[in-house]
Amino acid sequence: MNSLRNFTACWVYNLARRREVSMGFSKERRDFLKASVAAGTALTISGWGFDSLLAASNKTLTFADIGVGDPGGDWSKFTKQTGWAVNLVAIGNAPSTILNVLIAGGGLKTYDMMNIVGGLQKPLVENDLIAEIDTSQIPNWQKNSYIQQYLAPGTPGFDFIGYKNKIYGVPTVLQGDSFAYLPDVTGPLDSYGALFDPKWKGYVALEDNYTTAGQKTALYLKKNKLADIKDPSNMTPGELKTVIDFLIEKKKEGQFRVIWTGFEQAVNLLMNKEVYVMDCWEPMVFVARNKGLNVLYADPKEGYLLWAMAAYIVNAPDRTAEKTKAVYELLNFMLGPWYGARITEMRGYMTNPQAAEYAKTHPDEFSAEEAKKVAEISDGVKRKFDKGGTWQNRWPAHVEEYESEWARFKAVRGS
């Protein structure tokens, strides 16, 4: 009995071993895998150690930015001036992303500053996430005539940087939005009506954002007396419903090809001539033109959608006084001439009044072409602000209505 059991066991065991060999998992391969696992573990541990080291080095400011405020990774001027390094981290622009990261994602401990599209003071301040800004510590603030002109307290522009009469954000970028179009196909266009013109049915795209696309539509309806809207930047639920009903009607007629959600997607739509008229941001036009496309950003008679980016100071619980001073220096730097000129040149937005002059007078850092570009962009945006329009409202009073109405627009079955 015993021997039979032993025999069976032996036979089965050998069968297993033979199968193992025929599986093709040779010793060489097993060794290779073992080595790579070991290497991987070593890499993991070393990476972990490396980053604790980095965190320990305390002369770094961590700066969350949506991508617009990144001067190509070159913070050397700032570091040379102050001795502090800047660690830029990408962050999304959606209010929830920002709040989630700050509240739940440990953002308060990690970030020192945030550079996002302004107008979010209400939720940020009420959740105690950002600190009031002491403008006396920012010399470039006084030199910034744009702030006095366009963002003064009491004006809608102030809502991009302030709350309850206190300043919370530093306006690093200013811009006015309208829409883009392909002149070779459509001829000159000068009204938001082009977005809803049946001539371009199926060749129009809107941004998936009720504070931009929605507000521009409201501006259009109001200025052309197609709807009774008092203030496009802060609509009542009733006015909002009118706007959305209008959009739904157009959607059912097949007016829109797509509602875009990403920069890349928007540029693509133009480049591939998938659409002819598109509600978008001006930098997309710059990028497309760079790639050789003849596309123009419109100068609509109804005016522009004005907005500003705000750099906020995150309310980190235990930031040293030294670090806070460095943060103010960074804010000052961002309102400064070199940063302004670089950002204008790279991204196509207007920054501060010193930028154009700086670019012209520093040919070693900015070529003549670049300086010209900076001057043109700054002039262009100034014109927009003078023309006016409506200030974008990132957090309208009835923001939930906005959200659910926009959801209604999206959910309705098109043609």
Partner 1 sequence: MLKKNIIRYVLFLIPPVFVAFFLIVPLAFTIVISFWERVGFRVRPAFTLNSYIDFFYGVRLLVLERSFLVSVEATIISLLIAYPIAYFLAARVRTALGRNVLLLFTIPFLVNYIIRTFSWTYLLGRTGPVNEVLVNLGLASSPLDWLLYSDFAVLLGLVTSYMPFMIFPLWLSLSRIDPQMIEASWLLGANPVRSFLKITLPLSVPGIFASVIFGFVGCFGESAVPIILGGVGYQLMGNTITSAMDVLNYPLAAAMSSVVVGSMVLLLLLWYFAFDMRSFLGKILS
Partner 2 sequence: MSKTNVWNTLNWGYILLVLIFLYVPLIPPILFSLSGSGGSFSLKDITLRWYTDLWNQSLLITSTRTTLILGMITAVVSPLLGLLATMAVRELRVPRLILMIILLPLFIPGVSMGLATAFFFKQLTINTSYWTIGIVHIVWALPFATLIILTAMTTYDPILTEAAFMLGSNRWRAFYTVELPLIWPGIFGAGLFSVILSFNETLRTSLVQGPLNTVQTYIWSKYLQVGLSPEIYALMSLLIILTLILVGTLIVAQKRVGKTRAA
Binding residues vs partner 1 (CB under 8 A): 23-24, 94-96, 99-100, 122-123, 126-127, 202, 208, 251, 256-259, 261-262, 264-265, 268, 272-274, 399-400, 402-404, 406-412, 414
Any idea what DSSP says for residue 217?
H
Residue 201 or 319 with smaller CB distance to partner 1: 201
Any idea what DSSP says for residue 336?
S
Tell me the C-alpha to C-alpha distance, in Å, between residue 1 and each of 9, 13, 14, 370: 12, 18, 20, 93
Residue 200 or 349 with smaller CB distance to partner 1: 200
Smallest distance, partner 1 to C-beta of residue 210, A: 10
Separation between Cα atoms, residue 91 and residue 99, nearest integer Å: 11
410 near partner 2 (CB under 8 A): no
Residue 98 or 221 with smaller CB distance to partner 2: 98
Q: What is the DSSP string of 37-104?
A: HHHHHHHHHHHHHHHHHHHH---EEEEEE-STT--TT--HHHHHHHS-EEEEEE---SHHHHHHHHHT
Smallest distance, partner 2 to C-beta of residue 129, A: 13
251 near partner 2 (CB under 8 A): no
Query: CA nearest 170: which of 319, 340, 303?
Result: 340
Q: Which residues contact 167 (CB under 8 A, 6 or more apart)?
A: 132, 133, 135, 161
Q: Are 274 and 268 in contact (CB under 8 A)?
A: yes
Among 20, 31, 322, 403, interactor with partner 2 by CB under 8 A: 20
Residue 29 or 410 with smaller CB distance to partner 2: 29
9 near partner 2 (CB under 8 A): yes
Smallest distance, partner 2 to C-beta of residue 406, A: 17
Smallest distance, partner 2 to C-beta of residue 230, A: 32
Smallest distance, partner 1 to C-beta of residue 383, A: 33
Residue 26 or 41 with smaller CB distance to partner 1: 26
Smallest distance, partner 1 to C-beta of residue 93, A: 10
Separation between Cα atoms, residue 353 and residue 363, nearest integer Å: 18
Among 43, 226, 368, 412, interactor with partner 2 by CB under 8 A: 43
Residue 244 or 350 with smaller CB distance to partner 2: 350
Tell me the C-alpha to C-alpha distance, in Å, between residue 174 and each of 206, 263, 362: 22, 18, 23
Size of the site for partner 2 (CB under 8 A): 64
317 near partner 2 (CB under 8 A): no
Residue 111 or 276 with smaller CB distance to partner 2: 111
Query: CA nearest 350: which of 74, 144, 78?
Result: 144
E-only strand ranges, 147-237: 162-163, 166-167, 169-177, 179-181, 204-207
Residue 91 or 130 with smaller CB distance to partner 2: 91
Question: Of partner 1, partner 2, none, which one sits near residue 407, judging by CB under 5 to 8 A according to partner kind?
Answer: partner 1
3-state class of 252 per DSSP? helix
26 near partner 2 (CB under 8 A): yes
Separation between Cα atoms, residue 384 and residue 149, nearest integer Å: 13
Among 134, 264, 376, 379, interactor with partner 2 by CB under 8 A: 264
Encode burial over 206-219: b for 16+ CB neighbours within 10 A, e otherwise. Answer: bbbbbbbbbbbbbb
89 near partner 2 (CB under 8 A): yes
Query: CA nearest 334: which of 68, 58, 98, 155?
Result: 68
Separation between Cα atoms, residue 357 and residue 343, nearest integer Å: 14
Left, alpha or beta for 254 (phi > 0: left; psi -120 to 50: alpha)?
Answer: left
By CB under 8 A, name the binding residues for partner 2.
Answer: 5-6, 8-10, 12-13, 15-16, 19-20, 23-26, 28-29, 33, 37, 40-41, 43-44, 47-48, 51, 62, 64, 66-68, 73, 87-93, 97, 100-101, 103-107, 109-111, 261-265, 267, 271, 283-284, 287, 290-292, 347
